[in-house]
Structure 1
């Protein structure tokens, strides 16, 4: 490995699109990807362990160890008056009865890596959709922000086969362009009839993740397949896509013989059309803004497929663990079974999520994660007014100032993100509560209040 200074002045992207100057550890995404790739192939049994994998290269992100004394500000340093007030306020407000007794939180100084406040930060709790931060980090690190997914149509033996490539953003308009090319080829060959098949063999047969139940299908998440059109919330997205394709062919004057079926395309099949998705960076933004479970699960599998791992929950999560470890993020008490955070068996400490966000803000290749964080009061996002977020007397002052990933399951609410104080200081935070019996809207109001406290607008 090349010797790189451990601390190098750099400009880091902020959620507002501006830059902030601070000392940051250099992140070599290409090197990290190569090392994880070398260890991720099916024949390898070794994994990246702890923070040692990049110590020699100076790339280890060292996050402050969780402090269990919630009365201590700035770990290892003298607390400022503002820090002391922040600690006092958080200590009082985390005791809000709406949050229940199973609540944890960590606040980091975004510029110095120090822990400002910790309340049960190492306790493993259900993170809900905050798990998507880990999925996004893994996909961007190993595939790259410019990676694109391709859907194809091939022809052979009187059959057009639509082949899924893991593009969860494919629309019927995109498919119509492919249909047009396919029809032109058929008519040029003097053929007006064809069979239609779908090939979604890129992924393993859909299954339930540990902690899932069949009640999730298909509204919370669809069975995970490599082919879908218009994000259809149906049991079999591949056959649904094939039927859309068949209807488009029929509308163009092609007779479709029989029913749409599932079959793996033959090696001799001739390519006739394809569609390439937008870049992964944009897909990640969409996933985070709207907390899209289906995109998350698809990305988990596509990352595994691209690196030669099984296209299963387990294959993807194995890579998540390797990537997080490569950034120096603690895996203590870390348990993840899916890419979306729907699993009720997932457990991630607030300290781990805060460390991960700190690492994300220091890696330019992960900028789309920061850009994709919902903004308090942003309509159309999971922190929008339509969800009743940041709209009470204590938290509405933070509208436009807090950028955070939401997480909501029955019995679990989480909020992890970044915010800039009036003094220009960046803070990273993560809050998780489990098992509160309060009204869900009240729990979210209390959680939003904690974020407004970190921002400082609720002083």
Structure 2
């Protein structure tokens, strides 16, 4: 890697103070039946209704910078003498650069922008910042902040095996771990391991003198429809509380691929095979069954910590992790862990952080649903909240953002000779006719700025992405 690029990447993280502190593994305790929402009457059919096919709106007038102000809910967290001063005329300088770029017709018919100083909350530039628009995958920033606030960065999601209701029965209980894998060596790093869980379960059974069992599986933690409202789609598996390897039939760990129709059943069958390999006879086919309330686990495995799940979700725009985190936010709130319950839980959690969520929707956690509605002002508010020293638990919402020209979905954007390579981190968002970008940038004076750009109605997606990249680069390079 060229020296200049290495320096830029370090500067983009170090100046912003985005180093992630180590996380501690949560210890395993008795299986908490109160965290499991049993539901036998699952939906008879999966919802296939999607959002609107496209987003339209009136043509945007020539953008203009707002008068300098302070974003509501985001304010100074240190004495005035300890805070970096806002550069005189900073908003005017940005307006002079961003205004013409935002007016580019390649961005579509509806455009919104917000740029703020995260340390002071000062608004440096905005255009239609309160407009509720379809955010696509930039809504994952909201999912990340809500999950981190609700669960904490160190929380791990448990998958357990408990005794069943009858003699010789055991139950595999899904906790909703999106990192759960059935592979001997996880291709995506640490996480819940069915292989390790099978080994520990076999050891416990043999110690109790049992070598033959029937296997049930409990995925009732997530009630309601399991299929995303967009219907069958290679970008997301059915959302269940017991899914190994995101329902992928191959060794892929990201990107679109045809998914399993029955991830819960497939996971249970894979677990039965792993038990057999370890000398435990499993009779019959695994069947859905409720784990007895209060049952002590025979063995358990735990997910990657929430901090790591958030970072992976943002870096690779992982839809399966996003939906799992939204539902885990509902579980933490004691709400039904369904699409509807997750929407309410995410909304309530963000409101509890002092963010104005009136008029906005979080219809899913991934952004695949066009019913999602947020504004650029809300997105920059979320980013500023994650940068606030008073909320260190939210920091992974920043450290997980892809680095321009280097990682994840920004690896090939603002790359090469771009002056913004390594200096900005952002979450991309793309649906047909919808293009968005939201993240942070270190400007030439060393300030950490949060920016968000939402657009709709672009006739050429790649051209719109280039327009967004120019806007983000201007935020990072304008004095």
2:221 corresponds in structure 1 to: 202
Q: Is 1:112 aligned with 2:120? A: yes
TM-fit CA distance, 1:85: 2.7
8 Å Cα contact 1:317-1:337 kept in structure 2: yes
Write out aligned runs for 1:352-371 (5 A): 352-362=378-388, 363-371=391-399
2:471 corresponds in structure 1 to: 450
Write out aligned runs for 1:21-420 (5 A): 70-72=64-66, 74-75=68-69, 80-156=88-164, 157-172=167-182, 173=184, 174-208=193-227, 212-216=229-233, 219-232=234-247, 233-267=259-293, 271-362=297-388, 363-379=391-407, 381-385=408-412, 389-391=413-415, 396-420=418-442
8 Å Cα contact 1:151-1:167 kept in structure 2: yes
> TM-score under structure 2 normalisation?
0.76
> TM-score under structure 1 normalisation?
0.79
8 Å Cα contact 1:337-1:346 kept in structure 2: yes
Cα distance in 1 between the residues matched to 2:416 and 2:156: 41
TM-fit CA distance, 1:125: 0.9
TM-fit CA distance, 1:254: 2.6
8 Å Cα contact 2:12-2:424 kept in structure 1: no
8 Å Cα contact 2:440-2:451 kept in structure 1: yes
TM-fit CA distance, 1:269: 5.3
Q: 1:71 to 1:16 in 2, by over 3 A?
A: closer
Residues 35-90 of structure 1: CA distance to partner in whole angstroms, max 9, x if unpaired?
xxxxxxx9xxxxxxxxxxxxxxxxxxxxxxxxx97144533899835532321111
Number of residue equivalences? 389
1:16 to 13, 32, 36: 13
Residues 135-163 of structure 1: CA distance to partner in whole angstroms, max 9, x if unpaired?
11111112111111111012332222110
Residues 327-370 of structure 1: CA distance to partner in whole angstroms, max 9, x if unpaired?
33222431221111111111111111111211221121101111
2:75 corresponds in structure 1 to: none
Question: In structure 2, the residue corresponding to 1:239 is in which secondary structure?
Answer: helix
8 Å Cα contact 1:288-1:373 kept in structure 2: yes
Cα distance in 1 between the residues matched to 2:16 and 2:334: 37
8 Å Cα contact 2:134-2:373 kept in structure 1: yes
TM-fit CA distance, 1:326: 2.5
